[in-house]
Chain A
């Protein structure tokens, strides 16, 4: 009798701070409450509450507690909570989950759109059913295939038919930027819209339009523009964050709910911005979900300073207390305003502004002042008030409104940007402007990256400026300031080179000139040097090299091969000149070989920059020196070729010079250069796989895992002692694959490893296939491998295989083994 009484007393008592509660006692109390009133919904609710408190009272809740809480959630019909708890249990001890548990997880994963996780969970259920000989597993297999197809369709639709922006669209975008630079927002708006009409997937134009509309208080139009950007690029951070902030300030709940989802997505895209996590905690609390708020607050506190943790102690306690008083959910300071009292005035102000008549601005300002009086926490009204005051030339009023907005919501990156720009324009407030830009950057502003670079350059911190601008170019590759940032980086690069040369030039100008040239040749890395340092880059380099090889070297060699000779022979060169002019310099149908070649080289250099390497292809790389010179020679040949193509005769000297240029270009743009390049990439990105290396790796993995070393039997080429196959895969990636295969097979008492050489029946490409056989009775399917999270076990294998154009499959076992996992890659064929 004492148990239920104690339990009821515990359940009714005010909640002490979570850390002082005892998980075991609370769990016992929960059990007692249920025992006292079986089948009673209220008792079930109290028991769930006690178990929730029990789980919160410890950093590592015992598994039994989690599973018990999941059971109670299921009994209460709270499928969301049940799934969340089962997920937690699955992380700790996946083997303890039953097939029905997995089925719940699969359904929940499906409901939240996580098809990969759903496939994984269904895979477990299928395995369990097959193990029990249950034929009804067919529908699950069908479900897995369906989900797989849906996932594929999703990836196909990521950029649903959006071609890259056309030249016309880019011109319209540039025009819009120019209008913006002059402060002509109407012209800018028209130009950005035109760019989007021409190229509907033009993300930068959509973002620029959205930002412009937001600043003008046209929230509906701004949201539409950001949604356009997200339709073309769903992972575009700026658009996700901007839409999240915009919707959060909407008075209706569905908009706020969508905003919360978007903010979580923004965090996933940029986990290095803790400010967003902190903001998410605030917003989930305001939304009325203390559990999610607490989760995010704890994630933020894990990386916060001790002062930050102390400052949020009270908030955390309040959230924890809200958790144990579900009936008070949403009460007090974390209440949600269903609709702000300011909303009607705000909407009215928007209408006045949209009309744009003479009295509109004054009426809008009046409405906005009324709105912020009614609800001083209504951020959109403050921001729009800032816009109205700014248009009226009231700088102090603009600043005041922006600061009020930021006092309420310090995560508003766009408001920080506006404040920073305003302060920069006011004399003597440069330091404040810099701080505002820094805060904007922390809040996720990409615009701030460019501005901070500009400020650093003005301070003479060239290196710092270049670092900001490089980040800007990397993160917003086609942003509003792309041209300026790129030009500034190149200017700074040149200045650094000049300064280096100039330092030496203090001794003697001639020496300086020579030193400058030497520096130009020594600075940066050749492609070979880079690939030696970063062999993993070979995967991304290969398609660029393929493009160069096919479009430039092969076609260039064919076009130019005997052009110089034919020109010198005195034959009628006009037909050849016509073809050469079109192919080399382009026509309406394409950019031409020279532009394509230069673009490929620039893409190669840009890839290097993205991976932290500065390439010097033009001045240092023996493979590209002549190629760059060939492009220059072809540029110089343009006018004379055009003259010949037009049927005009050339003086003999110019004809001879043209022939010499074509010969020089033909020597460089030759398929042999392509072969050299391919060899280089193959060498950097290939690995000979030997039996000894794999056997040693298996022993190392077993040692690391503290598992007994299984016997390993060689099959196929490994048994024959044949020469090792050299797969087109860097050594580190090879090791990753086999390390994970071995780690997943350690439960088997014996293993076998087969190597075999194959040929693709259609392309004839040489391939290497490696199969790891085991005697582990647990079933495994290819769907399960592909469905696993990319960061775990066999999921890693699937991910590496995908990135390196290989294949992974589950195959029947060799004699004495139950199954095998095969991986297959292209191999380098030794010349016969």
Chain B
């Protein structure tokens, strides 16, 4: 395991704290940086491309104004129901962040906290834009997730 730089994008600190503790215990030397929104993730990416990105899916603690994604087409899709549109954005925020960062993440390993078992075609369709994408399989511990993030390409 090399000293890697990992960007963790999540609305809380569940993952980043856990990864940092585990990595430290294993003496991996990996560095973890947290971004709580797309804007923060872009800031982090401007400072340099990370070796890996971990991306949570549900961002229900994020203020509406900070959610990535175009709200208006969703409001139209939901017949003018803005609240529904916002809920949709929050529940799928990881996908929207992924979509917005797709180009910037070329060549980067990306682990999305979503289990694609039974939805392999969905994963394949997302990989067309983000080839380094994988899901977080069922039963994976934090340690396994960390190994996925830090494994050699």
Q: Give the interface of A toward B (CB within 8 A).
A: 148-149, 151-152, 155-156, 546, 550, 554-555, 557-559, 561-562, 571, 575-576, 579, 583, 670-672, 674-675, 759, 761-766, 782, 785-786, 798, 801-802, 805, 807-808, 829-832
Contacts and interface: CB of A to CB of B under 8 A. Distances in A.
A674 B69 CA distance: 27
A561 B139 CA distance: 8
B84 A805 contact: yes
Contacts of B138: 557, 670-672, 674-675
B18 interface: yes
B99 A762 contact: yes
Contacts of B92: 762-763
B80 A762 contact: no
B144 A152 contact: no
List the 9 shortest-distance A-B pairs measured between CB atoms, nearest first. A561-B141, A763-B95, A786-B79, A671-B138, A764-B122, A831-B118, A558-B142, A764-B126, A762-B99
A308 B30 CA distance: 82
Contacts of B69: 762
Contacts of A832: 120-121
16 contacts: A152-B81, A155-B81, A156-B82, A550-B58, A554-B113, A558-B18, A558-B142, A561-B144, A562-B142, A575-B21, A671-B138, A672-B139, A762-B95, A764-B123, A786-B80, A807-B79
Contacts of A808: 79
Given A557-B140, A675-B115, A808-B79, A759 B84 contact: no
B58 to A, nearest CB: 5
A805 B83 CA distance: 12
A558 B144 CA distance: 9
Question: Does more than half of chain A's interface fall in helix, strand or loop, or is it mixed?
Answer: helix
A161 to B, nearest CB: 12
A802 B84 contact: yes
A149 B96 CA distance: 25
A253 B54 CA distance: 65
Nearest to B116: A764
A326 B82 CA distance: 47
B14 interface: yes
A759 B129 CA distance: 14
A546 B60 CA distance: 12
B119 A766 contact: yes
B4 interface: no
Given A561-B144, A562-B143, A766-B121, A579 B18 contact: yes
B98 to A, nearest CB: 8
Nearest to A571: B25
B80 A152 contact: yes
B45 interface: no
Nearest to A765: B122
B2 interface: no
A762 B121 contact: no
Interface string B82-123: 111000100110011001000000000000010101111111
A115 to B, nearest CB: 10
A696 to B, nearest CB: 29
Given A558-B18, A829-B122, 7 more contacts: A562-B141, A762-B95, A762-B99, A764-B122, A764-B126, A802-B79, A807-B79
A558 B79 contact: no
A507 B15 CA distance: 57
Given A561-B140, A802-B81, A579 B120 contact: no
A390 to B, nearest CB: 46
A807 B139 contact: no
Contacts of B17: 579
B88 to A, nearest CB: 8
A807 B140 contact: no
B137 to A, nearest CB: 8
Given A558-B18, A561-B143, A670-B139, A156 B83 contact: yes
B122 to A, nearest CB: 4
A764 B25 contact: no
Given A557-B139, A576-B21, A829 B121 contact: yes
A555 B82 contact: no
B116 to A, nearest CB: 9
A671 B145 CA distance: 13
Given A762-B92, A763-B92, A558 B145 contact: yes
B152 interface: no
Contacts of B143: 561-562
Contact of B120 (A562, A801, A807, A831): A831
Contacts of A765: 122
B45 to A, nearest CB: 19
A575 B120 contact: no
Contacts of B83: 155-156
Nearest to A589: B12
Contacts of A571: 25
Contacts of A558: 14-15, 18, 140-142, 145
A561 B145 CA distance: 11
A762 B25 contact: no
A830 B122 CA distance: 11
A671 B84 contact: no
Nearest to A824: B77
A152 B82 contact: yes
A672 B92 CA distance: 20
A759 B145 CA distance: 27
A156 B79 CA distance: 14
Contacts of B123: 764
Interface string B33-65: 000000000000000000000000110000000
A757 to B, nearest CB: 10
B145 to A, nearest CB: 7
Interface centre among B80, B118, B119, B121 (most CB of A within 10 A): B80
B82 A807 contact: no
Contacts of A575: 21, 25
Nearest to B128: A764
Nearest to B138: A671
Contact of A148 (B80, B113, B142): B80
B135 to A, nearest CB: 11
A761 B139 CA distance: 28
A142 B32 CA distance: 50
A561 B142 contact: yes
Contacts of B136: 554
A832 B120 CA distance: 7
A830 B118 CA distance: 6
B8 to A, nearest CB: 13
Contacts of A576: 21
Contacts of A805: 84, 88
B24 to A, nearest CB: 8
A234 to B, nearest CB: 15
Given A561-B144, A786-B80, A762 B96 contact: yes
A559 B99 contact: no
A263 B27 CA distance: 70
A156 B119 CA distance: 34
A575 B23 CA distance: 12
A831 B125 contact: no
A764 B125 contact: yes
B56 to A, nearest CB: 9
A579 B21 contact: yes
Nearest to A672: B138
A307 to B, nearest CB: 48
A74 to B, nearest CB: 32
Contacts of A782: 79
B146 to A, nearest CB: 10
A807 to B, nearest CB: 5
Contacts of A764: 95, 122-123, 125-126
A120 B123 CA distance: 42
A759 B141 contact: no
A831 B91 CA distance: 23
Contacts of B125: 759, 764
Nearest to A761: B99
B2 to A, nearest CB: 23
Contacts of A559: 18, 142
Contacts of A156: 82-83
